[in-house]
Amino acid sequence: MDKQITFNPAQLKELGDAVLIAEELVSNHYKMSSTQWLRSRYDIKTFIELQGDEIVDGPFAQVLGYNVRKKDGALGSGITDYYTVCLQDSTILERIAQNQELILLPFLVYITVHELVHIVRFSKFEQMYSASSESQCAMEEERKVHSITAAILNRVAIAGMDKVLTYYKKWL
């Protein structure tokens, strides 16, 4: 892989804003309280924090699922699902540079909403994480998630979101 371009401090701030917006939008869409939302354990990482399989060539992001055992889980199952959204800074920034109609903040909001929808679907058993990498299943799941993402974001007034939705229209 070539030298990776990573988000600069201003872009990381935009990412933080995008995550806050995305969390609120997804939680409202699924009518989840903050307590329910926090039960869906996940983390969002940028390239600088990624290792091994978390780094991919092509997609803007990927969700990886892990089973985590609680430290204080005495009896019973102390295992919980944990997800990591692995953002691929270079791929995102290259696409923004190549397509002058795309603006970083709405693009990051779309990507984040999309990945959070995956996590909600996994945690609600609407899609099995273990089946999400099977080719045919993965393509169908991507179409569903893009459709849900577009439905969530069609109601949002963020400058440049219309261009992002047009960019992703091929998935609907």
Residue at 3 is within a domain: no
What CATH number is associated with residue 28? 3.40.390
The domain in which residue 160 lies consists of: 9-171
Q: What are the phi and psi torsion angles at 89 (to 5°)?
A: -45, -50
10 has pLDDT over 70:
yes
Residue at 1 is within a domain: no
Q: What is the mean pLDDT of residues 118-129?
A: 72
134 has pLDDT over 60:
no
160 has pLDDT over 50:
yes
Residue at 4 is within a domain: no
Residue at 92 is within a domain: yes
Listed residue (120, 112, 121, 171) closest to 147, CA to CA? 171
Into how many domains does the chain fold? 1
Give SS3 for 124: coil
Q: What are the phi and psi torsion angles at 66 (to 5°)?
A: -135, 155
Cβ atoms of residues 87 and 114 within 8 Å: no
149 has pLDDT over 50:
yes
Give SS3 for 10: helix
| pLDDT top residue among 34 and 46 | 46
What confidence score (pLDDT) does residue 69 get? 65
170 has pLDDT over 50:
yes
The pTM of the full predicted model, rounded to 2 decimals, is: 0.86
Residue at 2 is within a domain: no
Residue at 135 is within a domain: yes
71-95, pLDDT tens digit by residue?
665 555 666 778 899 999 999 999 9
